[in-house]
Structure 1
Amino acid sequence: MELPNLVARFIETQNNLDSKAYVACFTDAAIVHDEGRTYKGKEEILQWIEQANAEYQSFMKPLKYEQSGINGVLTAEVSGTFPGSPAELKFHLGLKNDLIDSLKVTG
């Protein structure tokens, strides 16, 4: 599957559990919505992804990617040490200057 460089890097950093490289995919003012919580800015996003990586050790297998303008939706099979693994999740991406400005994870 052909993915934009940013999306491929986003997946690669998650699969390597590389929290710092993962956060580098985001703008300074990015917002993440996941599991009913909101994380604002790189500091909160770093804390969120470090905790998620430690707890779930998630691996993403991309299934589909669609982009319209500055918005993209990545559908991926996510497996890890969480109940219901693997799960098909959607990653709704808002893009800005070749970085992720917003991310909302839905089931």
Structure 2
Amino acid sequence: MSLPELAPAIVAYIAATNTRNTSTIDQCFAADANVFDEGEHQVGTAAMVRWMEDTGRRYQPRVEVLNVQHRTGKVLVSNVVSGNFPGSPLALRYTFRLNEQGKISRLDISV
């Protein structure tokens, strides 16, 4: 994936999503990271692994990045996500916040 405007942790997260590989979660997310998706809140890398495994099993998502915007403290990523879910493909926005170490500290997924 060639996305030079994205931090390595974000590129690694998108690659992990597309390959359904949760073994690199600790490289992407801070230990106390938060994810908000489908009305649910996940906290910590163990929860991230469960969330990604469940999402991968149910939906087989494939993320294609369309646009990246950098805002103060945030990275907004517009995507088309396809998979085994109603309305696929679906335009989603990922709002990332990174910590000082460059890992994802928060991810909000919205329509």
Q: Does TM, normalized by the shorter one, top 0.5?
A: yes
Q: In structure 2, the residue corresponding to 1:8 is in which secondary structure?
A: helix
Find the counterpart in structure 2 of residue 21 from structure 1. 24
Q: Give the AA of the match of 1:2.
A: P
- 8 Å Cα contact 2:78/2:91 also seen in 1: yes
Quick one: structure 1 residues 14 and 23, their matched pair in 2 at CA, closer, same or farther if it must change by over 3 Å?
farther
- 1:9 Cα deviation from its structure 2 partner: 1.8
- Counterpart of 2:103 in structure 1 is 99
Q: What's the secondary structure of 2:48's corresponding residue?
A: helix
TM-fit CA distance, 1:93: 0.5
The aligned residue for residue 3 of structure 1 is 5
Separation (CA, whole Å) in 1 of partners of 2:51 and 2:110: 16
| TM-aligned CA deviation for residue 23 of structure 1 | 4.9
Q: Give the CA deviation at 1:7.
A: 2.2
Map 1:31-50 to 2 at 5 A: 31-50=34-53
Instruction: Tell me how many residue pairs correspond in the alignment.
Output: 107
TM-score w.r.t. length of structure 1 = 0.92
Identity %: 25
Q: Give the Cα separation in 2 of the matches to 1:54 and 1:23.
A: 20
CA displacement, residues 42-75 of structure 1 (integer Å, 9 cap, x when unaligned) = 1111111100001101000000011123311111
Structure 1, 5-14 or 39-48: larger mean CA deviation: 5-14
The AA in structure 2 aligned to 1:99 is K
8 A contact 1:58–1:78 mirrored in 2 = yes
SS of structure 1 residue aligned to 2:88? coil
Runs of 4 or more, structure 1, over 6 Å off, are none
Q: Structure 2 CA distance, aligned partners of 1:34 and 1:77?
A: 15
CA-atom RMSD in angstroms: 1.3
